[in-house]
Amino acid sequence: MSTSGKLILLRHTESTDNARGLWSGTRNVSLTDKGRLDAEKFGRLLRDFNFDVIYVSQLRRSTQTLKHFLKTYGKTRSKIKKSGAFDERDYGKLAGKDKWLVRAQVGVRAWIDIRRGWDTPIPNGETLKDTYERTVPWYREVVVPQLLAGKNILIVGHGNSGRALRKYLERINDVAIRRIEMDFDQARIYEVNEFGYATDYKILRIKTRKTLRY
């Protein structure tokens, strides 16, 4: 028997920065044509779910993902709310820079630390730990009570805010989180307990061409 409503976690689809291999962070970039089509694929994929509330980050690539998702999802009763708690990690001085050029400059190990490490600082930016510390309290205070009341919740966010929430949901340790990605082709569907930890989850995928440069 289900112990909660369903939590569906979705990353925004391909942005112009993803296609170019640039760090976005809080840059307010738009989706590519591929990103818009993939968002519509997710709308069709998740039609069987009735979402009571949809949360979306404040950044354009997420709101555009939701806009195109809703075109094919076809249901209009969901409450839609924006939340800055689920905005992308701030990449500080690296925002707008080519990830692969930075890798050549700093070396692979340091580059992985910057991209995927738990507490690797970036000048004028956030660590993943910083992102976790704004994302997870919001999730526990706002989202978990609704899930426990049986509501289905969709969150449309980003790679690192999604990784931060997955760290909590799936109880991933500080080392293992370095290997965790939020892929563009998947929706993650969770049931949770009274603490908001995942008790069960599954993954649904769309068929899409791989984003080569993200």
The CB density around residue 169, as the number of other CB atoms within 10 Å, is: 20
Distance of alpha carbon 112 from alpha carbon 90, whole angstroms: 16
Examine the residue annotation and report whether 12 is marked as an active-site residue of this protein: yes
Residue 110 makes CB contacts below 8 A (sequence gap 6+) with: none
Of 40, 88, 126, 158, which is the active-site residue?
88
Of 12, 40, 126, 158, which is the active-site residue?
12
Helix intervals (H) in 93-211:
99-106, 108-116, 128-138, 144-148, 159-169
Examine the residue annotation and report whether 126 is marked as an active-site residue of this protein: no
* Token pair listed for 132: 């976790």
Q: List the catalytic residues.
A: 12, 88
